[in-house]
């Protein structure tokens, strides 16, 4: 589904990502850990095609196509989706209106999902205007559901979400990523970006990576890596990082 | 009629200002614009030729008159049509002057102090006179329409609206230039009286065209518990508009809302202000302006709140988007307090479209143009308050149509 090779990315003069390799197969969901400033959001923005992020070298392939130089909206049309951590407000534009523009589903399905998310009242509200952290998350999930992309990035999907809603969001993300289907029937892929991984209690992920200082310092079994981070913080990752750096 | 002394006094002042330029806006040589005397008259808006009809529809006028309580149409300086079945009284101002003594209403709220007001006072001028009798609450909007139909001519207008005690009225005014007219001047004096417990909602849509100068002069008087709501929309090109309507909240608890939506394109020059003088106790004012400039357009968005009494409250919100380096946007919010116990605030912001909004929408699959267009629509989407849903819808449609066309 997504394959990133030798990716180096700059913002202005500053090199943020170094030699990133990442391969996410069709039907797989990966999780990306990493401390603040590791380059997680740079990686997301680069995959999305945000022109502010300059690709110095390397390539991104999506569904077998080289999308390294493809404009943002074309990538979205091709099936890349994002649920933002803190999305901007779009004053004057009703959520319903935006959903109608971006949707690839029937309106009745969207209404049903809005109901499940307990978010029906928000359809007439302006996009993200005055939304709390948790409300913004539900708005993002609803938009992603409408858009129905094949590869979805979730940037800190549980931050700001109250305890009782984390489980709900986890369940819906599982559904969006075909986790309720048999492994061989799964078509959707995902990348979950998280700090602490609370959401992982309610989700199934296949593989984990740790991004440290612009390098993928470690990849492996999600539980194992998460337990390590919980026990030791990112200390162990620093060691691995130093090994890789040299 | 006017009393002899009053008529003389007005003439005397007007003569003095015949050649005096206005403090704001480009100075216009009035000699270039003749004052057309004749004109058609019709028994129904449906009788108008197709060109006029489609123009009227594009500025929100229901030509079949199914959804209006009455219609007034003026082309150049002649009242072509004036009819209402409602309890509202409506007639051309020339007729009202024959019927009533208007000493207390004509030139009472608008001062003659520049060449434009002087021209309206001295030369042939027509306009609408609307009076809503005490206690009559008309829920269906009344529509008025002012058209320039003759080349290089000056349309001189003097309107009066009186909403008597406890009455309510909703007016939509569409102003436009006939498609074949290359250049024109519109001078419009409007004096509105909102009496005790009365309410007036006035929605105006301008579609003048790139060669028309526009000089409205408006004064509004609001008595105790009275409410005045003004919605002003200009989405198409104009040569120049300069206006600075002033509302006087004289009565206790009186309320004013000014909402302005202006989209400046081409070489349009707009100097748009609104001023509220809060002299009644607990009176309040809300001013909202949303402006966008593209191409070489220039907009000055002025706002002026004057607090003269206790417990008055006023807020001024002025937001502008500038989308071209050749355009010019200037926000001038002013607050003036003359009492300790009052609350006047303003927020003003001008700038380009926020990058993160663009990226957000583009990552959902919108092209850059689609994203810009959606953000602009949202930006201009002020809640057109106080309008019957149907009218609000048609204002919304007019905005969408012009945005989609551009």
Residue B351, chain A, CB below 8 Å: the answer is no
Average pLDDT in the B2-9 region?
Answer: 94
B147 falls in which pLDDT band (50, 70, 90)?
A: very high
pLDDT at residue A30 in the model: 94
- Per-residue pLDDT tens over the stretch B191-203: 999 999 999 999 9
Nearest CB among A48, A49, A90 relative to B357 is that of: A90
Interchain contact A139–B (C-beta under 8 A): no
Residues of chain B with pLDDT > 70, as a percent, come to 96
Helix (H, G, I), strand (E, B) or coil at B8: helix
Q: What is the pLDDT of residue B326?
A: 97
Give dist(CA B324, CA A101) in Å, integer: 27
Residue B271 pLDDT: 98
Q: Is the pLDDT of residue B343 over 80?
A: yes
Distance from the first to the final alpha carbon of chain B: 47
- Closest-CA residue in chain A for B367? A73
> Which pLDDT score is estimated for A147?
95
Lowest mean pLDDT segment, chosen from A126-140, B28-42, B185-199, B372-386 = B372-386
* Chain A residues within 8 A of B354 when measuring between CB atoms: 88
Domain segments of chain B as ranges: 4-405
pLDDT of residue B406: 55
Whole-number Cα distances in Å, A43 to A170, A191, A216: 23, 11, 11
Split at pLDDT 50, 70, 90, the class of B391 is low
Q: Residue A48: its chain B contacts at CB < 8 A?
A: 359, 363
Mean pLDDT, chain B, integer? 93
Determine the pLDDT at residue A246: 60
What pLDDT is recorded for position B383? 66
pLDDT tens sequence for chain A (246 residues): 999 999 999 998 889 999 999 999 999 999 999 888 889 999 999 999 999 999 999 999 999 999 999 999 999 999 999 999 999 999 999 999 999 999 999 999 999 999 999 999 999 999 999 999 889 999 999 999 999 999 999 999 888 888 888 888 888 999 999 888 888 888 999 999 987 767 888 888 899 999 988 888 889 998 888 888 888 888 777 777 777 766
DSSP class of residue B32 equals: G
Instruction: Count Cβ atoms below 10 Å from residue B50 Cβ, excluding itself.
Output: 7
Please tell me the distance in Å from A238's CA to the nearest CA on chain B: 32
CA distance A167 to chain B (A): 25
pLDDT band at B384 (very low <50, low <70, confident <90, very high): low
**What residues in A contact B368, CB-CB < 8 Å?**
73
Q: Nearest-CA neighbor of B388 among B6, B23, B68?
A: B68
Lowest-pLDDT choice from B298-307, B362-371, B382-391: B382-391
Q: Which domains does chain A have, with CATH numbers?
A: 2-245 (3.40.50.300)
**Nearest-by-Cβ selection for A92 from B354, B363, B378:** B378
**B365–A88 C-beta distance less than 8 A:** no
pLDDT of res. A228:
84
CA atoms within 13 A on the CB side of B167: 21
Band of the pLDDT at B240, cuts 50, 70, 90? Answer: very high
Inter-chain contact B357–A143, Cβ cutoff 8 Å?
Answer: no
Cα of A205 to nearest chain B Cα, Å:
24
Q: In chain A, what residues touch B374 (CB-CB under 8 Å)?
A: 90, 93, 98, 101
Segment B127-135 mean pLDDT: 97
pLDDT band per the 50, 70, 90 thresholds, residue B386:
low
> φ, ψ for residue A110 (rounded to 5)?
-65, -40
User: Which of B77, B329, B108, B127 shows the shortest CA–CA distance to B219?
Assistant: B108
pLDDT band at B295 (very low <50, low <70, confident <90, very high): very high
Whole-number pLDDT of residue A203:
84
What's residue B281's pLDDT? 96
State the Cα–Cα distance between residues B36 and B212, nearest whole angstrom: 16
Q: Which residues of B touch A49 (CB under 8 A)?
A: 363
Would an 8 Å CB–CB cutoff place A100 in contact with chain B? no
- In this prediction, residue B359 carries a pLDDT of 96
Predicted complex ipTM: 0.94
- What does the block give as tokens for A244? 């890789």
- A52: chain B residues, CB-CB within 8 Å: 355
pLDDT of residue B41: 86
Q: List pLDDT tens digits, range B53-85.
A: 888 888 888 899 888 899 999 999 999 999 998
> Which chain A residue's Cα is nearest to B290?
A92
Residue B405 has pLDDT above 70, yes or no: no
Query: What is the model's pLDDT at position B387?
Result: 66
Of A49, A88, A102, the CB nearest to B354: A88
Contact of B38 with chain A, judged by CB distance below 8 Å, is answered with no
* DSSP assignments along A173-213, one per residue: HHHHTTTTS-GGG---EEEEE-SS-GGGGG---SEEEEEET
Looking only at the bridges linking them, the beta strands covering B142-148 and B70-75 are: parallel
**What's the confidence (pLDDT) of residue B388?**
66
Chain A, nearest residue to B366 by Cα: A73
Nearest to B121 by CA among B185, B217, B28: B217
């Amino acid at each position: 589904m997504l394959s990133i090779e030798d990716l180096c990315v700059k913002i202005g003069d500053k090199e943020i990502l170094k030699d990133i390799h990442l391969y996410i197969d069709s039907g797989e969901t990966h999780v990306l850990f990493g401390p603040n400033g590791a380059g997680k959001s740079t990686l997301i923005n680069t995959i999305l095609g945000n022109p502010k992020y300059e690709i110095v070298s390397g390539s991104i392939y999506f569904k077998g196509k080289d999308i390294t130089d493809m404009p943002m909206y074309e990538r979205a049309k091709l099936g890349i989706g994002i649920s933002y951590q803190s999305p901007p407000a779009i004053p004057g534009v009703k959520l319903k209106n935006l959903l109608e523009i971006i949707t690839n589903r029937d309106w009745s399905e969207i209404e049903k999902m809005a109901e499940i998310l307990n978010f029906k009242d928000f359809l007439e509200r302006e996009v993200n205007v005055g939304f709390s952290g948790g409300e913004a998350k539900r708005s993002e999930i609803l938009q992603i559901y409408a858009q129905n992309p094949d590869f979805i990035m979730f940037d800190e999907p549980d931050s700001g979400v109250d305890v009782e809603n984390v489980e709900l969001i986890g369940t819906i993300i599982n559904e969006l990523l075909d986790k309720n289907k048999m492994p061989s029937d799964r078509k959707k892929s995902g990348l979950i970006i998280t700090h602490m991984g609370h959401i992982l209690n309610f989700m199934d992920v296949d593989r984990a990576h740790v991004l440290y200082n612009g390098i993928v310092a470690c990849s492996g079994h999600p539980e194992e890596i998460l337990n390590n981070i919980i026990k030791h913080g990112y200390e162990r990752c620093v060691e691995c990082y130093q090994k890789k750096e040299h | 009629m006017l009393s002899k002394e009053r008529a003389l006094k007005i003439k005397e002042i007007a003569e003095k200002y015949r050649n005096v330029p206005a403090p704001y806006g480009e100075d216009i040589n009035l000699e270039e614009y003749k004052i057309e005397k004749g004109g058609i008259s019709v028994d129904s808006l449906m009788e108008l030729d197709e060109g006029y009809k489609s123009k009227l529809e594009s500025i929100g006028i229901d030509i079949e008159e199914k959804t209006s309580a009455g219609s007034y149409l003026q082309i150049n300086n002649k009242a072509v049509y004036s009819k209402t079945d409602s309890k509202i009284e409506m007639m051309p101002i020339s007729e009202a002057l024959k019927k009533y003594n208007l000493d207390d209403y004509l030139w009472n709220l608008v001062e003659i102090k520049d060449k434009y007001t002087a021209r309206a006072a001295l030369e042939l001028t027509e306009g609408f006179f609307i009076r809503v009798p005490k206690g009559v609450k008309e829920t269906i909007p009344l529509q008025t329409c002012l058209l320039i139909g003759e080349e290089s001519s000056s349309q001189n207008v003097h309107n009066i609206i009186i909403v008597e005690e406890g009455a309510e009225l909703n007016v939509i005014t569409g102003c436009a230039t006939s498609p074949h007219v290359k250049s024109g001047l519109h001078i419009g004096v409007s004096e509105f009286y909102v009496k005790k417990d009365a309410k007036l909602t006035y929605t105006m849509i301008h579609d003048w065209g790139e060669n028309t100068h526009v000089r409205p002069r408006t004064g509004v008087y609001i008595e105790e518990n009275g409410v005045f709501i003004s919605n002003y929309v200009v989405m198409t090109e104009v040569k120049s508009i300069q206006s600075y309507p002033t509302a006087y909240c004289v009565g206790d608890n009186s309320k004013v809302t000014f909402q302005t939506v202006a989209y400046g394109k081409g070489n349009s020059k707009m100097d748009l202000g609104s001023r509220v003088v809060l002299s009644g106790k607990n009176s309040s004012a809300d001013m909202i302006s949303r402006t966008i400039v593209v191409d070489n357009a220039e907009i000055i968005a002025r706002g002026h709140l004057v607090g003269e009494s206790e417990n008055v409250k006023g807020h001024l919100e002025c937001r502008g988007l500038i989308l071209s380096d050749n355009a010019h946007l200037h926000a001038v919010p002013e607050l003036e307090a003359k009492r300790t116990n009052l609350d006047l605030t303003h927020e003003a912001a001008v700038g380009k479209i926020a990058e993160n909004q663009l990226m957000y929408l583009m990552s959902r699959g919108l092209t850059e143009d689609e994203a810009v267009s959606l953000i602009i629509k949202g930006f201009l989407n002020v809640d057109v308050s106080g309008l019957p849903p149907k009218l609000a819808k048609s204002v919304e449609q007019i905005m969408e149509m012009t945005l989609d066309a551009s």
